[in-house]
């Protein structure tokens, strides 16, 4: 099968969509299919398949037309109008995977209209409900060769946060919860992994937590996996409803129990391998963390559920589900 995958963000850029696209391409190739990738991410990246890098000045659009004729299936990994319209007009089977919420603006209404002409995939059940058009839920894969258990684990640290250091991610909620935990006489520390520490460094100092918070900066790949394996609990205290939550899956694979906000698709990523609390509720977060910190033996029960839960996020399973869908689209 000739598969043309459109991923607005792709290597060498680093992020969730980039990771999912890279892993799926790898599995499609392993299954014996031919794959080409079209992206708007500039730069160079070693790959054993063709990559067409489009630009805002429309450079490469004629080549994209040729690739549209070449493909048997056009797979758009996250909806984007600049390649979606040519894909529809090429009259090839179109599969669109949705990874984030659609807003109620003009652009999102146009996207919903185009989605009606596609075979729809969602990264979580929450996304399918929000978009309001039925489709198939295929969970995002994680890099299981990197995010996995290790023989050298010590887990000498309790809490870790991983994410962009912006207000929506709720790090201020976690810091205020840590203050409450310390005030109750529980000795614990928090490691923060992410970019842009200045505002939160100041908040941690104002809360009297300077000696209890470690800022590690931005980590990815094996460096992030090693850091996760040093900790017992990942906290994902997002204020907004996360569409999914790949970092939760990666942490579970590294042996962490996850405590996260209950809204959106994050609870699907956490599954039976952790606990959720209402978005933005500092007191409930504190109550949940205190329970786990006071009874570390309970963590083992959550970890025992990890292998079965993680199976649905393996690259092989995700790719197989996509390929089954592609086959039905082409043959239909």
- Name which of 26-40, 95-109, 152-166, 226-240 the model is least confident about: 152-166
pLDDT at 55: 84
Summarised one tens digit per residue, pLDDT across range 174-220 is 999 999 999 999 999 999 999 877 779 889 999 999 999 999 998 99
For 2-141+314-331, CATH gives: 3.40.50.2000
299 neighbors 257 (Cβ within 8 angstroms): yes
Dihedral in degrees, nearest 10, Cα atoms 123, 125, 128, 129: -150
Residue 25 banded pLDDT, cuts 50, 70, 90: very high
CATH architecture of the region 157-311: 3-Layer(aba) Sandwich (3.40)
- Whole-number percent of the chain with pLDDT over 70: 98
Extents of the domains making up the chain: 2-141+314-331, 157-311
Q: Is the pTM of this model over 0.85?
A: yes
pLDDT at 58: 62
Residue 59 banded pLDDT, cuts 50, 70, 90: low
Mean pLDDT value across residues 127-152: 94
Q: 308-319 b/e with 16+ CB inside 10 Å = b?
A: ebbebbbbebbb
DSSP string, 1-37: -EEEEE-SS-TTS-SHHHHHHHHHHHHHHHTT-EEEE
- Give the other-Cβ count within 10 Å of 22's Cβ: 19
């Amino acid at each position: 099968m000739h598969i043309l995958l459109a991923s607005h963000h792709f290597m060498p850029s680093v992020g969730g969509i980039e990771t999912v696209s890279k892993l799926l391409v790898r599995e499609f190739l392993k299954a014996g299919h031919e794959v080409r990738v079209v992206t708007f991410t500039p730069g160079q990246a070693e790959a054993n398949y063709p990559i067409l890098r489009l630009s805002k000045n429309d450079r490469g659009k004629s080549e994209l037309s040729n690739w549209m004729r070449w493909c048997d299936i056009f797979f758009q990994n996250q909806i984007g109008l600049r390649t979606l319209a040519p894909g529809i007009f090429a009259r090839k089977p179109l599969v669109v995977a949705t990874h984030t919420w659609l807003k109620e603006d003009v652009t999102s209404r146009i996207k919903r209209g185009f989605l009606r002409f596609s075979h729809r995939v969602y990264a979580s059940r929450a996304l399918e409900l929000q978009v309001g058009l039925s489709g198939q839920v295929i969970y995002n894969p994680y890099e299981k060769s990197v995010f996995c258990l290790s023989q050298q684990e010590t887990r000498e640290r309790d809490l870790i946060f991983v994410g962009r250091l912006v207000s929506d991610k709720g790090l201020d909620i976690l810091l205020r919860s840590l203050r409450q935990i310390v005030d109750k006489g529980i000795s614990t520390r928090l490691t923060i992994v992410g970019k842009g520490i200045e505002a939160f460094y100041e908040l941690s100092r104002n809360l009297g937590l300077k000696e209890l918070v470690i800022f590690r900066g931005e980590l990815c790949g094996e460096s992030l996996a090693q850091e996760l394996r040093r900790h017992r609990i990942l906290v994902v205290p997002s204020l907004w409803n996360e569409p999914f939550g790949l970092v939760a899956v990666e942490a579970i694979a590294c042996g962490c129990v996850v405590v996260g906000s209950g809204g959106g698709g994050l609870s699907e990523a956490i599954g039976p391998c952790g606990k959720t609390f209402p978005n933005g509720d500092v007191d409930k977060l504190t109550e949940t963390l205190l329970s786990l910190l006071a009874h570390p033996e309970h963590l083992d029960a959550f970890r025992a559920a990890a292998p079965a839960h993680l199976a649905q996020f393996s690259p092989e399973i995700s790719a197989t589900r996509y390929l089954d869908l592609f086959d039905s689209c082409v043959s239909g």
